[in-house]
Every structure is written in C-alpha cells, then in structure tokens.
C-alpha cells in the first residue's frame, strides 16, 4: 500500500488529536543541548491590526510597512482573541551553560541519507557536513513522503530540513514544456515575516547551485506587486517562498496564479505558531484550500498550542508523523546568555546607552551589537543620537523600505564592529551570527518578546550577553521573567563630560525625529494596560521622555491622533 495512504480527504478532518499520527519523541536524546537558527522578524500581520498600529505611531505613511513593526504591542491581545495559550514547555529551568558551539549538531552526515549527488554537492558548497539534530530527525521521514508536524525550537536548522527534500521532489519531476503558458509552482513555503521569507529563499538558492533549471522566487509585502507579477511571468519558479498577506494579494490580483498553485506537491508552514499568533489563520485556511489535496505537508512550530493542533486537522493527513526534537529540560538560547537588568530614570538613559556601548566595544574588538527599541520612530531617534556620537551604527525598522532593510540586514550579518539599532523587525529568527550583545531599551511588550530579542545572541551553543534597560516605573515587567537568570546590575558611572557630549548629540538631532519619537513613545505606552490606564500619569512620563531628548516643551500632537488615543484634554499635552 502506498505510504501516503492515498486519500487526501483523510487529512485528519474530524480526527480528535493532531498528534494522532505516529509520534517520534526525541525529548530524551541525551546529546541534544541547543538550538540553531530559524527564520523570522516582523511582517504583515492581520489586516485588522494595521489601522490601529498606524495611529499608535501617530503617522499616516505606508500602512503596509507600519503594520509590521509596532504590532508587537498588540500581540498579547490578539493571542487572547485567537484563544492561544502559552505552551507549557516554554518555561525552562535554567542550568549551567556548557557553551559547546557544536552541541546542536548530530553525528550524522548528509552523505549518509538518500539524496541526489547534485543536492549533496550543493549542501557541501553551502558549508554543511553534519546534520543538526532536527535535520537528523526529520529528513529521513520527510524524504519518505510523509506529512510531518515537527516541534523544533528556533535556531535548529529547520530551513534546510524542509528545503532539501522539497528540492529532491522537484528535481525528479519531468521538465515543464516551454510552451506551457502558466508553469506550475511545485513547492510553496509560507513564512510569517518578510525577513524570514528572504532568508529561506536565499538558503534555497544556495542549495540549488547544481540544479540550474529549478527557480526559486519570493513574494513579500513592502515590494511592488506588479514587479513580482513580472518576475513570476519571466523567470522559473518551481519553489515559491511567500508571506501570507502577499500570497493572498497574488491569489486575488495576479492572472493565472491560482492555476499555478494547482501544481503544488509540497506545502510548508514554517513557524506555524507565529503565523497564527500574527492573525493569519484565515489566510492559511485559504492557502490550504488553494493547493491540491494530493500533496505532502510539512508544519514546523516552536510550540504546539491548540491553534496549531486545529490547523493540523485540516492541513495534515491522519497518518502524519509528529516529531518532537525538544528535549525536556533542554537549554534554551536565553539560558546560555548572561542577562542583567539596569534601572535608571529616562533622563539618564541616552548617556547610559552610550557608556554601555563604549564599554562593550572596548572589551571586544569584534563586537556585534543589537539595540532593540520600543517603536520604529524611537529606533530612528536612538540611531540618530548614536551616529552623532560617532559610533558605527545602522538602523532597521518598518519605516525603511524593504530593499534598504535587506541590504542593511545582509551587511550586519556579514560584518563585525557594527551596532544595529532595530525595532522588533529583527526580534525573532533572523540569523545574525556572532552577536556579542543584545541591549533592550525600554519595556518589551511581553515575556515572549524579551526572549525572542535575547535569542539573537547565544545562538548555536555560543554564549552571549543581554542587558535590559528599564525606567523605574517599568520594573514590574521583571515579574514576567522572574524564572529567567536575570540579575540586577549597578549602573556604570556617568562623568559630567559624557553627559555634555550626549546632550550635544541630542541637540544636533533633527526636531522632526524627536517629534515623531515622542508621539510613537506615547502611543506605545498608552497601549500598555497598566501604564495606559492612568492617562494623567502617562502624559507625565511622556513629558519626562521629552525632557530626556532635551525638549522642555513637549512636541505638539495632532488633535485627531490624541482623540484616537483617548488623550484629548489631558493636561501637559500640546495640540496642533
């Protein structure tokens, strides 16, 4: 009997348990210690979040770009609305770090599994010899044609685990006749974010080095739809990597696109928990309906909450295999990172940030630092200040074009001696090797965001360092992460000359940058249920932030924006 059990209408519809397929639990595998990198950042979230994020940041520019960045402040509310709950094994018991950078690798080599010589050459040229533990567990099963639900942490080599078998399937298909008007797409990979999609497509191109007839393309928000349509028409595309919102755009607006999807042999949902937390459930259901029932489906997820189980029922066959590569008690990235928090009033924070960066640079000539800020416009302000202080700085946030972000992301990935100031666009999954320090300025939106940001360092078993800089009224956030090994650190001393130098840098920053940051800061903290509850106190704190930028008079805010924030007639605000 065919191992696929033929009947696509038995994809688990009506089955009572998403794990009712055969289970492989690697949880007890003693040599599994660590997690490699996956893929993610912040993308086009559910349409319903766009307008709200837009006014929270106080800007009317490009909603598509705006929606992806500060949506993090709403994610918790969305999770409750979707019925998502934290997976029990998100809580880790910290243990002492071994710091073995090879511990995420298995002993199995790629040449020990059944893949074509051309794919093996591509793997070798990409620099891979041994498989990661996740690849060792999933590849043999996927290569047999089975549907798979793989529970695997971020940073475990998942991308190669689903791309390599997909390439093998495409390479064995008969070539498409050149005269075919709409050649089919054979592999469809859905990623939650633009950066993750770009990263997955880039990995596919490396693996396809010796398969010149197989083309991979990426369709993501933030780029012109017409340009993507032209590329899809002109260039081979057997493998398509997409974000859900943009894929829907093509289904609705690109002639013949639905027909091309009828050729899909493999559907991959990467970071399924993330896709659902970002509000893409309806898009995913539509995508599943748009591809053939006779296909192989691969679903990778760091956690498996109820929402993921529900998608399994409609996406996977009943005889799918559940592969758990998360060892009970395994060290997460955040337990490999030396973590401290510091508490300082807002008027000290620009100077403290400068001193902390200077000290880190002095300690590590190969420094590579990520500075996370609360919103896109605060990110821009901090980057402007640090540039005025002659630090080697780049910035990424949703107000930057996708081409700019891709270019800067690539530069940071390949460089040392660089500081990247970023919003939560870079918080999850984006592979930046050898990050030496993650510095978070201001209160993260929730525990998960703190961990995802911290996960940019301490990757692949390497130790890293994390600093969380909070204002006194943000200390309550620490109760969310009290089980993590975060210690309170004393503040470095600030000499008068440093304060003057930072003050001069702030005075050189454009007023428009400060005005936008003030408005975005107000919107971010207004959305916090604790801080935003007392509007009078919120405005006092916002004006404290204004003074920290060197503005005794806070910037004026449009009446309409204040009205949407519920801040009309609150003393201390200036209206324009």
Model confidence pTM above 0.85: no
Q: How many helices (H) and strands (E) does the chain have?
A: 21, 19
Q: Are 24 and 322 in contact (CB under 8 A)?
A: yes
pLDDT in tens, 297-348: 999 988 888 889 899 999 999 999 999 987 654 445 455 678 899 999 999 9
> Which bin fits 76, alpha (ψ -120 to 50), beta or left (φ > 0)?
alpha
Question: What pLDDT, on a 0 to 100 scale, did the predictor assign at position 66?
Answer: 36
Give 3-state DSSP helix, strand, coil % of the chain, rounded to 5: 45, 15, 40
Find where tokens 């689903």 sit.
162
Q: Pull the structure tokens for residue 59.
A: 């800007």
Nearest to 159 by CA among 16, 7, 264, 268: 268
Whether the domain at 8-36+104-324 and the domain at 332-565 fall into the same CATH topology: yes
CA distance 214 to 167: 8
Ranked by mean pLDDT, the top range of 326-330, 456-460, 478-482 is 478-482
Q: Which residues of 29-67 are buried (b: 16+ CB within 10 A; e: fewer)?
A: beebbbbbbbbbbbbbbbeebbebbbbbbbbeeeebbbb
Which pLDDT band, with edges at 50, 70 and 90, does 370 fall under? Answer: very high
At residue 469, the 3 state secondary structure works out as: strand
Cα angle, residue 142 at apex, residues 140 and 146 outer, rounded to 5°: 120
For domain 332-565, which CATH number applies: 3.90.190.20, 3.30.390.50, 3.40.50.300, 3.20.20.70? Answer: 3.40.50.300
Considering only the C-alpha atoms of the chain, give the largest distance between any 2 of them, rounded to a whole number of Å. 79
**N- to C-terminal Cα distance for the chain?**
73
CA distance 485 to 231: 48
Question: What pLDDT, on a 0 to 100 scale, did the predictor assign at position 509?
Answer: 97
Q: Are 445 and 70 in contact (CB under 8 A)?
A: no
Which pLDDT band, with edges at 50, 70 and 90, does 172 fall under? Answer: very high
Nearest to 273 by CA among 154, 155, 431: 154
CA distance 155 to 334: 12
Lowest-confidence region among 142-146, 336-340, 379-383, 415-419 = 336-340
Q: What percent of the chain has pLDDT over 70?
A: 77
Which pLDDT band, with edges at 50, 70 and 90, does 44 fall under? Answer: very low
Nearest to 348 by CA among 551, 538, 545: 545
Q: Would you list the DSSP string of 436-453?
A: -EEEEES--SSHHHHHHH
Q: What percent of the chain has pLDDT over 90?
A: 57
Class of residue 287 by CB neighbours under 10 A (exposed 0-12, middle 13-18, buried 19+): buried
Nearest to 509 by CA among 360, 395, 370: 395
Lowest-confidence region among 83-87, 264-268, 307-311, 527-531 = 83-87
Which pLDDT band, with edges at 50, 70 and 90, does 182 fall under? Answer: confident
CA distance 177 to 180: 6
Lowest-confidence region among 80-89, 503-512, 531-540, 564-573 = 80-89
CA distance 141 to 144: 5
pLDDT in tens, 53-101: 333 333 333 333 333 443 333 333 333 333 333 332 322 222 222 233 3
CA distance 411 to 403: 12
Which pLDDT band, with edges at 50, 70 and 90, does 571 fall under? Answer: very high
Question: What pLDDT, on a 0 to 100 scale, did the predictor assign at position 452?
Answer: 78
Mean of the per-residue pLDDT values for the chain?
A: 80
Assigned CATH topology for domain 8-36+104-324: Rossmann fold (3.40.50)
Q: Are 303 and 277 in contact (CB under 8 A)?
A: no
Find where tokens 């893409």 sit.
280
Q: Would you list the DSSP string of 166-226?
A: HHHHHHTSPPPPTT-SSPPP-EEEE-SSHHHHHHHHHHHHHHTTT-TT--EEEE-TTS-HH
Q: Which residues of 365-396 are buried (b: 16+ CB within 10 A; e: fewer)?
A: eebbbbbbbbbbbbbbbbbbbbbbbebebbbb
**For residue 129, how many other CB atoms are within 10 A of its CB?**
10
Domain boundaries, given as residue ranges, for the chain: 8-36+104-324, 332-565
CA distance 412 to 21: 42
């Amino acid at each position: 009997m065919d191992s696929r059990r033929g009947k696509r209408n038995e994809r688990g519809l009506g089955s009572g348990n998403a794990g009712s397929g055969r289970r492989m639990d690697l949880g007890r595998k003693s040599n599994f210690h660590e997690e490699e990198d996956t893929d993610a950042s912040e993308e086009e979230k559910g349409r319903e979040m766009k307008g709200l994020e837009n006014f929270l940041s106080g800007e009317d520019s490009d909603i598509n770009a705006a929606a992806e960045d500060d949506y993090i402040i709403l994610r918790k509310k969305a999770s409750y609305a979707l019925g998502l709950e934290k997976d029990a094994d998100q809580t880790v018991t910290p243990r002492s770090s071994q710091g073995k950078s090879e511990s995420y690798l298995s002993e199995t080599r790629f040449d020990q599994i059944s893949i074509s010589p051309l794919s093996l050459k591509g793997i070798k040229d990409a620099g891979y010899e041994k498989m990661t533990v996740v690849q060792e567990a999933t590849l043999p099963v996927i290569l047999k044609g089975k549907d798979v639900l793989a529970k695997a942490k971020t940073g475990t080599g998942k991308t190669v685990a689903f791309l390599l078998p997909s390439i093998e399937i495409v390479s064995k298909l008969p070539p498409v006749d050149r005269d075919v008007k709409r050649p089919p797409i054979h592999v469809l990979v859905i990623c939650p974010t633009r950066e993750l999609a770009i990263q997955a497509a880039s990995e596919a191109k490396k693996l396809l080095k010796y398969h010149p007839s197989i083309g991979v393309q990426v369709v993501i928000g933030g780029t012109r739809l017409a340009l993507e349509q032209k590329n899809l028409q002109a260039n081979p595309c057997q493998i398509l990597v997409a974000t859900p919102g943009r894929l829907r755009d093509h289904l609705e607006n690109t002639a013949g696109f639905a027909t091309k999807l009828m050729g899909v042999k493999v559907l991959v949902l990467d970071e399924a928990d993330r896709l659902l937390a970002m509000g893409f459930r309806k898009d995913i259901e539509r995508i599943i309906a748009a591809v053939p029932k006779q296909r192989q489906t691969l679903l990778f997820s760091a956690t498996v909450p109820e929402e993921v189980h529900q998608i399994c029922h409609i996406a996977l066959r009943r005889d799918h295999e559940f592969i758990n590569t998360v060892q009970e008690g395994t060290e997460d990235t955040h337990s490999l990172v030396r973590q401290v928090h510091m508490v300082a009033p807002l008027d000290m924070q620009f100077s403290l940030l400068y001193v902390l960066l200077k000290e880190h640079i002095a300690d590590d000539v190969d420094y590579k630092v990520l500075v996370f800020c609360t919103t896109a416009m605060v990110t821009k302000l901090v980057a402007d200040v640090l540039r005025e202080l002659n630090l080697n700085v780049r910035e990424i946030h949703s107000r930057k074009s996708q081409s700019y972000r891709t270019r800067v992301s690539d530069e940071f990935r390949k460089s040392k001696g660089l500081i990247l100031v970023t919003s939560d666009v870079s918080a999850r999954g984006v592979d930046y090797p050898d990050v030496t320090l993650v510095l978070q300025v201001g209160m993260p939106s929730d525990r998960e965001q703190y961990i995802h940001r911290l996960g940019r360092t301490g990757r692949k078993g390497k130790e890293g360092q994390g600093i969380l800089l909070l204002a006194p009224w943000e200390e309550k956030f620490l109760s969310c992460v009290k089980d993590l090994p975060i210690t309170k650190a004393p503040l470095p001393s600030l000499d008068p000359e440093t304060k003057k130098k930072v003050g001069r840098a702030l005075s050189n920053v454009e007023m428009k940058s400060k005005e936008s940051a003030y408005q975005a800061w107000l919107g971010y903290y207004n959305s916090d249920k604790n801080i935003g509850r007392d509007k009078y106190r919120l405005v006092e704190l916002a004006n404290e932030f204004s003074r920290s930028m060197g503005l005794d008079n806070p910037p004026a805010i449009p009446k309409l924006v204040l009205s949407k924030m519920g801040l009309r007639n609150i003393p201390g605000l200036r209206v324009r």
